[in-house]
Amino acid sequence: MFRFKTLMLALILGLCSNMLHAANVILIIGDGMDDHQISIARNYLKGAQGRLLLDDMPLRAAVQILTVEDSTEHKPVYVADSANTATTLATGVVTSRGRISTAAGSDEDLPTIAELASAAGLRSGIVTSASVTDATPAAFAAHVSLRLCENPNKMLDINYRGIPLGNCKQDLKAAGGPGSIAEQLAASSLDILLGGGSKHFSPEIEGGNISVAEAAQANGFTLVHNLEQLHNAPADARLLGLFAPGTLPVRLQGEGQRSAEAAKPSLLNRLHPYLGSVSYPDVMRCEANPQAEGIPTLKAMTEVALEYLSRDNPTGFFLMVESASIDKQAHERKPCGSIGEMEQLEEVLATAMAFAENQPDTLILVTADHAQAAQLVPDGSMYKDYNIPVYSPGMVARIVTPEGAIMGVNYATNNYPYEEHTGANVPLFGNSEAQAYVPAFIQQSDLFNIMRDYLGLKPEVELRD
Ligand SMILES: [Zn+2]
């Protein structure tokens, strides 16, 4: 339920805060970007002896991910989703899976760093390769109890093949709530919002006869739908860029659109694990995805966002950029797709670092929201000399790297068509500005405090009743 009073109190406190200096925060989130994904990407993009831009960042730390059950007891859950972790990054509060900046158990709305920044006179922006209504971007500017409530038609009776997945009844405007995620983004005070998800802006707003996109325009957003419009948008407008119906197409794909595949044991091996043989999937190369042609890259969107947020701005800004499909492609067991998204994240980081060269009061943090399924495994078991067929029970991709070697990537979290997240720590990287603020080991919620303090959004905001 939308707790208007609490949110307004927090926003007013943010507004009244004394800003020490005009500072900027650029938070880059690699969704699902754990050390397996980073190692896989390094091997492919830079070679086994090469270095990613991430590897040369002055600061590296480990982030502990916390999740709780949806109750007031806050019993731990050991594997997160993007909704609860983005909520933690955006608000500093640990919550339950599926929630978008609402509290576990109480459903209280939690003020986000983008909202606090806007209320204090700073600019704020979000860039993503997902739909802008997807969990990670949504958690920075919307408040609903369930991440699937992405547009006005998806507030009630949300189901997958007839299986009910929940609803957002209490978030309906008719119930005194703020409406769906798309409606909240349209009504937000963000200065720039770029990504996919146009299909969520075409339904009519709840209780009105205009579309969500028209509501966004009425709230001062200029809408753009392609690269040319993005580059020619008026300089003084607030910008909403929607470049695909849903998630933006990824840069790389497996040849013939292959994903990881199962090893095939012979009949004899099925009778006894020490007998017979096993055939592994054929090797595959990564190739360009033709669907991505003409779609703005994360780098292009970030460049525009930085220009919009920094131009004639004496107060500073908060910008979140998400490389979303490291995660989404890992769910589908598509390592080439994840590698291409890692490359996009590297390009965004280069853009952010170049920006910070000229704007020294810029804190750059790069982290993941949670770990993912992909594992870098041997191509050929280390037990192969035992002369028995040893193979992964998961799905395996054997990728030919530009160095001509074969890299094994394994997915084995479940027997379902979509892999699960995993619960390990994730890495955090920062520029030299981050070195003074970030310890070697940190809880995810502390990153909110660091960003809020860096932007001068003090005093402490009491988020809970
Ligand atoms: Zn995911």
pLDDT tens, position by position, 282-313: 999 999 999 999 999 999 999 999 999 999 99
Query: Among 1.10.645.10, 3.40.1360.10, 3.40.720.10, 3.20.20.70, what is the CATH number of 4-251+289-373+413-454?
Result: 3.40.720.10
Distance CA 216, CA 120 (A): 22
Which residue reads 């209320």 in tokens?
A: 119
369 labelled binding-site residue: yes
Q: How far is the CA of 383 from the centre of ligand 1 (A)?
A: 32
Q: Name the active-site residue from 17, 82, 131, 188.
A: 82
Query: How many CB atoms sit inside 10 A of residue 395's CB?
Result: 18
Q: According to the model, what pLDDT value does residue 384 have? A: 84
DSSP string, 251-267: SEEEGGG---EE-EE-H
Chain segment 204-259, per-residue pLDDT in tens = 999 999 999 999 999 999 999 999 999 999 988 899 999 999 999 999 999 999 99
- As a three-state string, the secondary structure of 286-333 is EEECHHHCCCCCHHHHHHHHHHHHHCCCCCEEEEEEEECHHHHHHHCC
327 labelled binding-site residue: yes
Amino acid code (one letter) for 246: G
Amino acid code (one letter) for 322: E
Chain segment 367-394, per-residue pLDDT in tens = 999 999 999 999 988 998 888 999 999 9
331 labelled binding-site residue: yes
Q: How confident is the model at residue 456 (pLDDT cuts 50, 70, 90)?
A: very high
Q: How far is the CA of 84 from the centre of ligand 1 (A)?
A: 11
Phi, psi angles (nearest 5°) of residue 217: -65, -40
Q: According to the model, what pLDDT value does residue 6 have? A: 47
Amino acid code (one letter) for 162: G
Q: Is 82 a catalytic residue?
A: yes
322 labelled binding-site residue: yes
Lowest mean pLDDT among 74-88, 90-104, 448-462: 448-462
Q: How far is the CA of 157 from the centre of ligand 1 (A)?
A: 22
What are the domain boundaries of the chain?
A: 4-251+289-373+413-454
Q: How far is the CA of 12 from the centre of ligand 1 (A)?
A: 34
